[in-house]
C-alpha cells in the first residue's frame, strides 16, 4: 500500500493547489472543501484565510508528476449517445 502524503495538487489546482491537495489527501470533493474554506474565512474573524493559504502554499510541497499520476481521477458520468435527431 502506497503511503499517502499531503502535497499540493496538480490536478485540482485553482490557485496554488493547496485545497486540492487537502481534498486528495482526505479523499473529499475539492469544490466542497473550497466552499468551506471560503465560508470559514468570511465568517470567522479569527481565521485569516488568505494568510493561512499563502503560508500553506509555501510550506506544502508540490506533487511531482508520478504522484499526480498515482491519484485516480474521478471518472466522468457516461452520457448516452444521441442519433442526431
Q: Based on the number of CB atoms within 10 Å of its own CB, is 49 exposed (0-12), middle (13-18) or buried (19 or more)?
A: middle
Domain boundaries, the chain: 1-61
The mean pLDDT value for 48-61 works out to: 91
Res. 4 pLDDT band, cuts 50 70 90: confident
More confident residue, 3 or 44: 44
Amino acid at each position: 500500500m502506497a503511503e499517502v502524503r499531503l502535497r499540493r495538487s496538480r490536478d485540482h489546482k485553482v490557485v496554488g493547489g493547496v485545497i486540492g491537495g487537502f481534498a486528495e489527501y482526505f479523499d473529499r470533493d475539492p469544490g466542497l472543501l473550497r466552499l468551506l474554506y471560503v465560508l470559514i474565512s468570511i465568517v470567522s474573524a479569527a481565521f485569516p484565510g488568505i494568510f493561512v493559504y499563502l503560508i500553506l502554499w509555501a510550506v506544502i510541497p508540490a506533487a511531482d508528476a508520478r504522484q499526480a499520476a498515482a491519484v485516480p481521477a474521478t471518472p466522468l458520468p457516461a452520457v448516452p449517445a444521441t442519433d442526431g435527431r
